[in-house]
Chains A and B, each alone.
Chain A
């Protein structure tokens, strides 16, 4: 049975449209205009126990909204979700005991108290036995190397140290499912690496199912074999990260090093030259022409060394997002008669929105 199963999930928000200007604002006191925003627009996926899945998408794509629905903070407009067999937004205590949501920009720890006090509080709230608490807390403290900071008030810790404490607090009750929203945001490289390593080991040792959003591709590359890419509320990719490159990278990068220390003329006919540093050059070549062009070059010139590489993953993802955006725009234009975007205006007499 899947750990997480999501079926045709949708979430539509009604947002208040605040027009500019005083006159319009006054009018808005009596008649408010609303528009509907589709934050999540019919996504479906299954996640198996022990999987570690990356959740990618540009800002506002619907990642956080989806995580909030999975953790039961908000109701969907339509669709079904089961996590560990529970419907999250029914918020059973039993469900809440078995998962954790960690948001990089929100804190759970008591600001004025040492982290250890908050941990003890978690122990009681989740009913963790003393022996298990000591074991888990000890292991995590060691893994993240924060033993010395446990008894210092949280407000005196650095951002990275605080985030490590937050992570420990989230893992104390040994959740079976862990949702992480930008766990490494704002952290330096060392702290990022530490947290990544902790997550990897934790996932391996405890077989925890992890869903992770991040804007740092290193997080995803290091941790997730499978990625879900969401754009405009729709799932546009579900599979290994490498598949994204196969599907969306339209070119490869060919690096050449010439034997005589200088470039020949006419290289720009082969492809777009994106970097020159004597005696090497990097050329962008369409994927389907890589073999032909390479053999052509090798036959023509004295080449000391060459390599063919995929473009950086960040670039491919950016291409993918913009492709999705274009497609989305196109679709919306074709959708309805006079109303060409997916927002519908509604008016109502409201006093208490």
Chain B
């Protein structure tokens, strides 16, 4: 598996070239958060209630801060679009000729990308979290750090496999970009990125929490907030693991089916 380690190293040095971009984009990501927090402040003030969706104002703020951490692991910018362009433009050919597995290759590329991103955005995150230190949750349960980190790592696997599935749709549809845009908007909401899913009305709540997307952002964030007990945390990471495995299995299956189709049509 040394070759995948080298893919990792080479893509790391490629990503280095974009370190300035990374730092800036990390900083930019916090701007919408500030407006969201101000908005919630106004809502809490105006509604004159203590809690919304089971969260106090302080918790609401820290929810959004921790969502940023979840996204740091689970978001996969340009992964799905990249796969579908590789398929459409015939770039895929390059990986079919060489003795290397495309999905494994993308995986190493993504880890390198994530590590580089985390490294360069460390300063930005540190700054914001330091400024907001009063809002951050106090962890009382000693199991939280372990489960939190596990669930973040699983969020990465889950995000990766879901986006692979989306990108591989490119085998069947020529133009995936507009579909991806619609999906990403839905995803913003369904993953709990837009607001905590506990705010949803009961009838919808149940369905949305069943979907894999909630396990990318919402659940890891709730663990980080300290809102889950030990049993719940264990259940969450187990389901995350199952979803990630299922999605990766789906991606593998699509890859094999898609290749047959690709090879029959053009290439």
| Total inter-chain residue pairs, C-beta < 8 Å | 68
Q: Does B263 contact A (CB under 8 A)?
A: yes
In the complex, the answer to whether B14 meets A125 with C-beta atoms within 8 Å is no
Q: How far is the CA of A100 from the CA of B98 in the complex (A)?
A: 8
- Residues of B within 8 Å of A100, CB to CB, are 97
Q: Does B96 contact A (CB under 8 A)?
A: yes
- Residues of A within 8 Å of B262, CB to CB, are 74
Q: Does A241 contact B (CB under 8 A)?
A: no
Q: Tell me how many residues of B have a C-beta within 8 Å of chain A.
A: 27
Q: Does A124 contact B (CB under 8 A)?
A: yes
Interface hits, A63-119 → B, CB 8 Å: 68, 71-75, 89, 91, 93, 96-97, 100-101, 106, 108, 110, 112-113, 117-118
**A93-B99 contact in complex given A113-B10, A117-B13, C-beta closer than 8 Å:** yes
Q: Does B267 contact A (CB under 8 A)?
A: yes
- Residues of A within 8 Å of B96, CB to CB, are 72-73, 91
Give B93's nearest chain A residue, CB to CB.
A73
Q: Does A352 contact B (CB under 8 A)?
A: yes
Binary per-residue interface labels of chain B (2-16) against chain A in the complex, 1 for a CB within 8 Å, 0 otherwise: 110111001001100
In the complex, the answer to whether A125 meets B10 with C-beta atoms within 8 Å is no
Q: Does A120 contact B (CB under 8 A)?
A: yes
| Closest chain B CB from A275 CB (angstroms) | 45
**A121-B264 contact in complex given A73-B93, A100-B97, C-beta closer than 8 Å:** no
Q: Tell me how many residues of A have a C-beta within 8 Å of chain B.
A: 30
Q: Does A13 contact B (CB under 8 A)?
A: yes
In the complex, the answer to whether B267 meets A352 with C-beta atoms within 8 Å is no
Q: How far is the CA of A126 from the CA of B6 in the complex (A)?
A: 12
In the complex, the answer to whether A68 meets B267 with C-beta atoms within 8 Å is yes
Binary per-residue interface labels of chain B (71-91) against chain A in the complex, 1 for a CB within 8 Å, 0 otherwise: 000000000000000000011
Binary per-residue interface labels of chain B (247-267) against chain A in the complex, 1 for a CB within 8 Å, 0 otherwise: 000000000000010111111
Q: Does A286 contact B (CB under 8 A)?
A: no
Q: Does A127 contact B (CB under 8 A)?
A: yes
In the complex, the answer to whether A96 meets B97 with C-beta atoms within 8 Å is yes
Binary per-residue interface labels of chain A (332-353) against chain B in the complex, 1 for a CB within 8 Å, 0 otherwise: 0000000000000000000010
In the complex, the answer to whether B265 meets A13 with C-beta atoms within 8 Å is yes
**A74-B264 contact in complex given A100-B97, A352-B172, C-beta closer than 8 Å:** yes
In the complex, the answer to whether A74 meets B2 with C-beta atoms within 8 Å is no
Interface hits, B62-116 → A, CB 8 Å: 90-91, 93-94, 96-100
In the complex, the answer to whether B6 meets A120 with C-beta atoms within 8 Å is yes
In the complex, the answer to whether A121 meets B6 with C-beta atoms within 8 Å is yes
**A120-B97 contact in complex given A75-B263, A125-B3, C-beta closer than 8 Å:** no
- Residues of B within 8 Å of A72, CB to CB, are 96-97
- Residues of B within 8 Å of A71, CB to CB, are 97
B13, B17, B98, B260 — most chain A CB neighbours (10 Å): B98
Q: Does B143 contact A (CB under 8 A)?
A: no
In the complex, the answer to whether A106 meets B94 with C-beta atoms within 8 Å is yes
Binary per-residue interface labels of chain B (210-224) against chain A in the complex, 1 for a CB within 8 Å, 0 otherwise: 000000000000000
Q: Does B183 contact A (CB under 8 A)?
A: no
Q: Does B173 contact A (CB under 8 A)?
A: yes
B2, B96, B173 — most chain A CB neighbours (10 Å): B96
| Closest chain B CB from A228 CB (angstroms) | 21
- Residues of B within 8 Å of A352, CB to CB, are 172-173
In the complex, the answer to whether B263 meets A73 with C-beta atoms within 8 Å is yes
In the complex, the answer to whether B264 meets A113 with C-beta atoms within 8 Å is no
Q: How far is the CA of A106 from the CA of B93 in the complex (A)?
A: 10
- Residues of A within 8 Å of B94, CB to CB, are 106, 108
In the complex, the answer to whether B100 meets A106 with C-beta atoms within 8 Å is no
Q: How far is the CA of A76 from the CA of B262 in the complex (A)?
A: 12
Q: How far is the CA of A217 from the CA of B263 in the complex (A)?
A: 31
In the complex, the answer to whether A96 meets B99 with C-beta atoms within 8 Å is yes
- Residues of A within 8 Å of B98, CB to CB, are 96, 122, 125-126
In the complex, the answer to whether B99 meets A125 with C-beta atoms within 8 Å is yes
B266 in complex: contacting residue of A74, A93, A108, CB < 8 Å: A74
In the complex, the answer to whether A121 meets B7 with C-beta atoms within 8 Å is yes
In the complex, the answer to whether A120 meets B10 with C-beta atoms within 8 Å is yes
**A126-B99 contact in complex given A13-B266, A113-B10, C-beta closer than 8 Å:** yes
- Residues of A within 8 Å of B173, CB to CB, are 352
Residue contacts A-B, CB under 8 angstroms, 13 given? A13-B265, A13-B266, A72-B96, A72-B97, A73-B97, A74-B265, A89-B263, A106-B91, A110-B10, A121-B3, A121-B7, A124-B6, A125-B3
Q: Beyond A72-B97, A121-B10, A125-B99, list 9 extra A-B contacts (CB 8 Å).
A: A71-B97, A74-B267, A96-B97, A97-B99, A106-B91, A112-B14, A113-B10, A117-B13, A125-B100
Nearest first, the 8 A-B pairs at minimum CB distance are A124-B6, A73-B267, A124-B3, A74-B267, A93-B99, A96-B99, A75-B263, A74-B263
